[in-house]
Amino acid sequence: MNVQGRAIALAALVGLGAGVLAQQQTPVPDAPTPQAPTGTLPGVQGPITPGMGAGEAPSGSNGSSSNPSQPQQLPPPSPSQPPAATAPPPNAQDTPPEQGVGAVNTVIRAQVNEVIVPVTVKDPKGNPVAGLTWRDFTVYENNVREPLRVFSVDPRPISVGFVIDQTLPANYMREVNESMSAIQGALTPYDEAAVFTYTNGAKEWTGFTGAQGNRLPAVLSLAQSTGTDPMVPNVGGSPMSEACPLYQNGNCVDPNLQPEKSTQSISGLQVQKEIHTLNDAILRAAKELSTRPKDRLRVIYVISDGKEYGSKATWKEVVKYLQTNNIAVYATVVGESARWGEGWLDRFHLPFEAYDNILYKYVAATGGDMFSERGVNNMEKSYAKIAEEARNQYTLVYASHLSIYDDRYRNIDVRVNRPNVVVTAKPGYYPSAQEYK
């Protein structure tokens, strides 16, 4: 075979091999073409709208779909959610006020110019009258009718400052000591109490502590006293003698003319004057109460015979402080002042003598209440009775028409549209700058 034939044969073999390799190689497919999103998930009908879930797209008033760039309108609240309470307009006399709801720890929030007035309503026998509504009450401030903003019958937690008289005679002091164990039983776990005593000056035994804690009965036990005994006068001579009870620089002097006036002289007898600093004790308790939250019922509970002599603070000063800070005074009158007829006679005061009982003046000026009791059992009942009365009151809240910058005294007149009832409420108040913070 010549050279040309060999070349032709080699070329045929190479072409044959290439054809066999071409038949054995698998072709590579092209990449898939990108598809447009469908906008739905498997098993979900329609598009998903934020805040509305799956469904049809929201449409406007003209039937077109809403603009995604605009904020979505929130769905209306469900019927189970109560709407927020709003205060009625100040000029709407017949608009129902906001009703207080809740348990004993109901919080009553008042605006800067709103006034809280606790009211007690009793029948002629002294029993509380229940079932009254806001339509039965009318409130006047400085002879101007004020519409009610809030009306509540729910019990309120109490912050009470107990003021115990330790100048009582020993026999009455023993009864008070025995009855003090019942004080804690008149209070609830929501309440708090502080303890004060007074003789010649006021003393604070504990700040406000839980009414059902272990601290309160321990402090009441420590605060017990033996009381006082009638002073035995020092005899400087018989009524017929000319002996002088006091000498100064060798001269006989009248003790009533001394700057201290610490003694009295009657026919040669020296009798030390009694000191009953009731005003100072109430003011001390009131200053502590003024720091308690405004939604709590502020009460001073006095256990005393009501005698007052020797206080640095005057009655008018203390009452103004009480009326400014919404503090009510309640009292259990014991001792000689609890005898029948003493309350009426105490309204007449002899000059240069101790006041026999001024508690009724505090009670009347602050909207509290007072019971005259003798005996341990009656004292214990009065604690529970007064605590229940103070807690279960009608609470009225109104907005004063006067300016918050007017600090003058404001009269309050609460009237109840029921016959033969006794209404107890504070007769007025001084606006406090602390309420406007």
Average the pLDDT over 339-355 and give the result: 47
Is 84 contained in some domain? no
Q: Which residue has the higher pLDDT, 342 or 38?
A: 38
User: What is the pLDDT at residue 397?
Assistant: 94
Is 14 contained in some domain? no
Reduced to 3 states (helix: H, G, I; strand: E, B; else coil), residue 346 is: coil
Instruction: Report whether 277 contacts 202 (CB < 8 A).
Output: yes
Q: 133 and 171 share a domain?
A: no
- Cβ of 318: how many Cβ atoms within 10 Å? 22
**pLDDT, tens digit, 9 for 90 and up, residues 242-269:** 445 554 544 555 555 555 444 444 444 4
Instruction: Report whether 328 contacts 298 (CB < 8 A).
Output: yes
Q: 417 and 363 share a domain?
A: no
Count how many domains the chain has: 3
User: What is the pLDDT at residue 432?
Assistant: 79
Q: 406 and 373 share a domain?
A: no
Q: Which residue has the tokens 């205060």?
A: 87
Q: Which residue has the tokens 């029921």?
A: 418
Q: Cite the beta strand spans of 153-309 per DSSP E.
A: 158-165, 192-199, 201-210, 234-235, 247-248, 251-252, 263-266, 269-272, 297-304
**In CATH, what number is assigned to the domain containing residue 210?**
3.40.50.410
Domain boundaries, position 307: 158-230+274-391
Q: 142 and 183 share a domain?
A: no
What does the block give as tokens for 181? 């164990």
Q: 364 and 427 share a domain?
A: no
Distance separating alpha carbons of residues 266 and 272, to the nearest angstrom = 11
Is 214 contained in some domain? yes
Among 391, 411, 427, the domain-final residue is 391
Helix locations, 108-257, DSSP H: 170-179, 215-222
Is 26 contained in some domain? no
**pLDDT, tens digit, 9 for 90 and up, residues 85-119:** 444 444 455 667 766 544 444 555 545 688 999 99
Taking alpha carbons only, the member of 198, 399, 188, 380 closest to residue 282 is 198
Is 196 contained in some domain? yes
Q: 309 and 374 share a domain?
A: yes
Burial (CB count <10 Å: 0-12, 13-18, 19+), residue 22: exposed
Q: 315 and 385 share a domain?
A: yes
Q: 406 and 374 share a domain?
A: no
Is 419 contained in some domain? yes
Is 78 contained in some domain? no
Is 323 contained in some domain? yes
